[in-house]
């Protein structure tokens, strides 16, 4: 076991920790990654030689790679994800908790000797933008070249991170081993008090690309509360109007709501002169700027997006992004060495499916796994914002919460104030879609889309949101949207996709004081003529009677369902949330709408 001569001898803490972990895992070799092009070529060649990845058609998909994960290892594993704080109360009722001593012992036994015969890669990575005060540095030790190649796309990896770290001991200690990929020996453990993440027994994205969900959300949310900032599961976009003014919006949506599509929205022909700029599609770190506004960065450098459903119509910017330097995981490989997934284009006659088995269009089986992914550099996105690497971030005018609701939630509404908006975010919910994961149409609460990603007690998290509102001199306005309202026949009423810009336009005009609203029991609704319907075949009448309709009986039932969830949070639930709930019920029972 020998470190190579790239070892940064100026950081004693880092070198000592790497040696300690190597002693535990016993790799044959340790390689320090520098993030260079030469290193990418060398690791890619090695990964192809050992079968970890395959090369794709280099004419049609230059520098693209193909990977399959094990059949039992295709998604995040929430039941095997733990917050290991000293006190269980700090993890709260919505997280799995394990005592840190027990977790280190249990996972240590699995890590012991797990890298025998393998190489341990030391992957320094920066979450943030070189020189930004938002930045956090992590080091991931891994025995997976697939992880190294993905981290190289998703983060600013190698020398840039070590330079930023210098001799500091302030870095997240990430340890990952595929070990034997057994589900009964798979754990994703977070030790927020030690700034440490241990992940073992998986080689799937969300479990093993430790910069993303583990660091940038679970650990960062803990640090954010401690240090007075926010780590959120949000996209960031800039909306430029025909006069050239740009407003930045952040949006929190649960899975299956099309967050990546919204982040890369293409304006419809009738909204000529508008432009949507992509800053980020998954994670936002937010801090109060010296001007009193809330500023955001996207701490990531790439997109780890769901492939199925992505095509040149639903998301042309994503399609353009993934034509080169992209890793495709668990999609179908066509005979010409390109890729396919459900919802991309017409079915190919045959190919090799995500399991590695021969597939034909008549087999009746899925060619790509429903959770198959692309990993692609954000810099390749045609709509990437010129500001996306600004170390100061971008100023946020509005925060949008969203959910997938066939009924109940209107197309858009604005909260009365910050505290009411926090309540709206805290009571967010989505209806399930995937037939594979249980019944369709079941309502699941997912506050701020953070249920699987908040690294501490959910009640304390709501408290942090309320505190931030008091601290931000010029806070963003808070909204809720729903693109998924259905009519009686089960058809979507709103066209969605590019036409969502009409809703973003209303939101921005509310922020700038230009659009009119009606005060309803749940918040401010658009006055019917304040949403631009030009070029759509939806009448004002239909907009009001369906998309913007508030059914009081549905909403009283909704409020009761919200309460069932809040009861589970227990005694850390802030009084303010309960007050907002009571005020909502009172307004619903009074049942009036007033023009404002
Ligand atoms: O991503 C979506 N968005 C956001 C886009 C910016 N999807 C895809 C599903 C989530 C992964 C949507 N699906 C959206 C949406 O706004 N809306 C819908 C529902 C819908 C689906 C199809 C049509 C209309 C609405 N119309 C036709 O198929 C012609
Ligand atoms: Mn996400």
Q: Is 21 part of a structural domain of the chain?
A: yes
Q: Which of 209, 227, 245 is the last residue of a domain?
A: 227
The 10s digit of each residue's pLDDT in 144-178 is 999 999 999 999 999 999 999 999 999 999 999 99
The 10s digit of each residue's pLDDT in 61-108 is 999 999 999 999 999 999 999 999 999 999 999 999 999 999 999 999
Ligand 1 contact, 495 CB (< 6 A):
yes
Task: Report the pLDDT value the prediction gives residue 528, as an integer from 0 to 100.
Answer: 81
Task: Report the pLDDT value the prediction gives residue 433, as an integer from 0 to 100.
Answer: 80
Q: How far is CA 84 from the centre of its chain?
A: 22
Task: Report the pLDDT value the prediction gives residue 591, as an integer from 0 to 100.
Answer: 82
Instruction: Check whether 6 has a pLDDT greater than 70.
Output: no
pLDDT mean over 115-138: 97
Same domain membership, residue 513 and residue 572? yes
Same domain membership, residue 395 and residue 280? yes
The CATH number of residue 372's host domain is 2.170.8.10
The CATH number of residue 529's host domain is 3.90.228.20
Q: Is 49 part of a structural domain of the chain?
A: no
Same domain membership, residue 242 and residue 166? no
For residues 124 and 90, the answer to whether their CB atoms sit within 8 Å is no
pLDDT mean over 101-121: 98
Same domain membership, residue 309 and residue 294? no
DSSP classification of residue 3: B
All residues with CB under 5 Å from ion ligand 2: 282
Q: Is 540 part of a structural domain of the chain?
A: yes
Q: Which of 25, 64, 257, 454 is catalytic?
A: 257
From the CA of 481, the nearest ligand is 1
Q: Which of 342, 362, 380 is the last residue of a domain?
A: 380
pLDDT mean over 405-428: 98
Same domain membership, residue 462 and residue 399? yes
Q: Is 208 part of a structural domain of the chain?
A: yes
Same domain membership, residue 83 and residue 162? yes
For residues 380 and 320, the answer to whether their CB atoms sit within 8 Å is yes
Ligand 1 contact, 496 CB (< 6 A):
yes
Pocket test residue of 237, 258, 486, 494 for ligand 1, highest count of atoms within 8 A of CB: 258
The CATH number of residue 183's host domain is 3.40.449.10
Q: How many domains does the chain have?
A: 3
pLDDT, mean over the chain: 96
| Smallest CA separation from ligand 1 atom 8, residue | 258
Q: How confident is the model at residue 1 (pLDDT cuts 50, 70, 90)?
A: very low
| Smallest CA separation from ligand 1 atom 5, residue | 497
Ligand 1 contact, 500 CB (< 6 A):
yes
Q: Which of 227, 251, 269 is the last residue of a domain?
A: 227
Q: Is 517 part of a structural domain of the chain?
A: yes
Ligand 1 contact, 237 CB (< 6 A):
no
Instruction: Check whether 596 has a pLDDT greater than 60.
Output: no
Ligand 1 contact, 309 CB (< 6 A):
yes
Ligand 1 contact, 24 CB (< 6 A):
no
496 Cα to the center of ligand 1, angstroms: 5
Q: Is 337 part of a structural domain of the chain?
A: yes
For residue 50, indicate whether it is catalytic: no
Same domain membership, residue 215 and residue 238? no
Same domain membership, residue 529 and residue 395? yes
Task: Report the pLDDT value the prediction gives residue 435, as an integer from 0 to 100.
Answer: 55
Task: Report the pLDDT value the prediction gives residue 135, as an integer from 0 to 100.
Answer: 97
Same domain membership, residue 575 and residue 523? yes
Pocket test residue of 249, 259, 261 for ligand 1, highest count of atoms within 8 A of CB: 261
Q: How confident is the model at residue 256 (pLDDT cuts 50, 70, 90)?
A: confident
Rounded (to 5) percent helix, strand, coil in the chain: 35, 25, 45
If you search the block for the tokens 């092009």, which residue do you land on?
37
From the CA of 499, the nearest ligand is 1
Q: Is 43 part of a structural domain of the chain?
A: no
Task: Report the pLDDT value the prediction gives residue 171, as an integer from 0 to 100.
Answer: 98
Task: Report the pLDDT value the prediction gives residue 381, as an integer from 0 to 100.
Answer: 98
Same domain membership, residue 149 and residue 102? yes
Strands 302-306 and 443-445: unpaired
Ligand 1 contact, 248 CB (< 6 A):
no
Q: Which residues contact 318 (CB under 8 A, 6 or more apart)?
A: 260, 261, 264, 303, 305, 310, 374, 381
Same domain membership, residue 476 and residue 489? yes
Q: Is 48 part of a structural domain of the chain?
A: no
Instruction: Check whether 457 has a pLDDT greater than 70.
Output: yes
pLDDT mean over 124-129: 98
Pocket test residue of 268, 497, 536 for ligand 1, highest count of atoms within 8 A of CB: 497
Same domain membership, residue 264 and residue 192? no
| Smallest CA separation from ligand 1 atom 29, residue | 495
263 Cα to the center of ligand 1, angstroms: 13
Query: Residue 375 is part of which domain span?
Result: 302-380
Instruction: Check whether 116 has a pLDDT greater than 90.
Output: yes
| Smallest CA separation from ligand 1 atom 18, residue | 496
For residues 576 and 466, the answer to whether their CB atoms sit within 8 Å is yes
Ligand 1 contact, 256 CB (< 6 A):
yes
Ligand 1 contact, 493 CB (< 6 A):
no
495 Cα to the center of ligand 1, angstroms: 7
Q: How confident is the model at residue 196 (pLDDT cuts 50, 70, 90)?
A: very high
Ligand 1 contact, 316 CB (< 6 A):
no
For residues 25 and 111, the answer to whether their CB atoms sit within 8 Å is yes
148 Cα to the center of ligand 2, angstroms: 20
Question: What are the strands, taking DSSP E only, across 50-118?
Answer: 54-55, 65-67, 81-83, 96-97
Q: How would DSSP label each residue in 185-219?
A: G-EEEEEGGGTEEEEES--SHHHH-TIIIIIIIII
Query: Which residue, among 493, 504, 526, 480, has the nearest Cα to 407 in the 3D structure?
Result: 493
């Amino acid at each position: 076991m020998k470190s190579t001569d790239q070892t940064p001898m100026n950081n004693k803490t880092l070198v000592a920790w790497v040696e300690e972990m190597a002693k535990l895992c016993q790799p044959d070799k340790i390689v320090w990654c520098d993030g260079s092009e030469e290193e990418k070529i060398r690791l890619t060649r090695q990964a192809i030689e050992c079968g970890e990845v395959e090369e794709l058609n280099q004419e049609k998909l230059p520098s693209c790679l193909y990977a399959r994960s094990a059949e039992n290892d295709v998604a995040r594993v929430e039941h095997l994800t733990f917050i290991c704080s000293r006190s269980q109360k700090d993890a709260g009722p919505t997280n799995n908790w394990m005592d840190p001593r027990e977790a280190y012992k249990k996972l240590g036994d699995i890590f012991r000797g797990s890298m025998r015969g393998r190489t341990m890669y030391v992957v320094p990575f920066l979450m943030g933008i070189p020189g930004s005060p938002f930045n956090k540095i992590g080091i991931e030790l891994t025995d997976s070249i697939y992880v190294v190649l993905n981290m190289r796309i998703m983060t600013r990896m190698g020398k840039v991170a070590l330079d930023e770290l210098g001799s500091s001991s302030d870095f997240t200690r990430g340890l990952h081993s595929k070990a034997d990929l057994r589900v009964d020996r798979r754990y994703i453990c977070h030790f927020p008090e030690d700034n440490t993440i241990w992940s073992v027994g998986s080689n799937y994205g969300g479990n093993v690309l430790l910069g993303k969900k583990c660091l940038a959300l679970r650990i960062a949310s803990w640090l954010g509360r401690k240090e007075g900032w926010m780590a959120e599961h949000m996209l960031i976009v800039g909306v430029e109007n025909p006069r050239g003014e740009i407003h930045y919006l952040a949006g929190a949506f649960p899975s299956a709501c099309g967050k990546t599509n919204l982040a890369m929205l293409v304006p419809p022909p009738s909204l000529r002169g508008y432009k949507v700029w992509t800053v980020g599609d998954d994670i936002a770190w937010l801090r109060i700027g010296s001007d009193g506004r809330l500023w955001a960065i996207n701490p990531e450098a790439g997109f780890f997006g769901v492939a199925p459903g992505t095509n040149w119509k639903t998301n042309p910017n994503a399609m353009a992004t993934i034509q080169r330097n992209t890793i495709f995981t668990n999609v179908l490989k066509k005979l010409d060495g390109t890729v396919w997934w459900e919802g991309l284009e017409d079915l190919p006659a045959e190919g090799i499916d995500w399991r590695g088995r021969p597939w034909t269009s008549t087999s009746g089986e899925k060619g790509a796994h429903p959770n198959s992914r692309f990993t692609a550099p954000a810099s390749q996105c045609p709509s990437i914002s010129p500001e996306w690497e600004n170390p100061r971030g971008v100023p946020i005018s509005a925060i949008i919460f969203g959910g997938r609701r066939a009924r109940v939630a209107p197309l858009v509404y604005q909260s009365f104030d910050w505290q009411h908006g926090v309540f709206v975010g805290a009571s967010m919910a989505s209806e399930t879609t995937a037939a594979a994961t249980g019944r369709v149409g079941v309502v699941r609460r997912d506050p701020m889309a953070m249920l699987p990603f908040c690294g501490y007690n959910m009640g304390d998290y709501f408290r942090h949101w309320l505190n931030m509102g008091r601290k931000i001199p010029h806070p963003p306005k808070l909204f809720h949207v729903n693109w998924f309202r259905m009519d009686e026949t089960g058809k979507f009423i709103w066209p969605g996709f590019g036409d969502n810009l009409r809703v973003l336009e209303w939101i921005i005009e509310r922020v700038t004081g230009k659009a009119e609203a009606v005060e309803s029991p749940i918040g401010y609704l658009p006055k019917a003529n304040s949403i631009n319907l030009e070029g759509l075949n939806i009448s004002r009448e239909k907009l009001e009677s369906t998309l913007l309709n508030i059914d009081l009986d549905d909403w009283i039932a909704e409020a009761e369902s919200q309460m069932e969830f809040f009861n589970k949070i227990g005694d850390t639930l802030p009084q303010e949330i309960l007050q907002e709930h009571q005020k909502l019920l009172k307004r619903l029972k009074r049942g009036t709408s007033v023009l404002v």
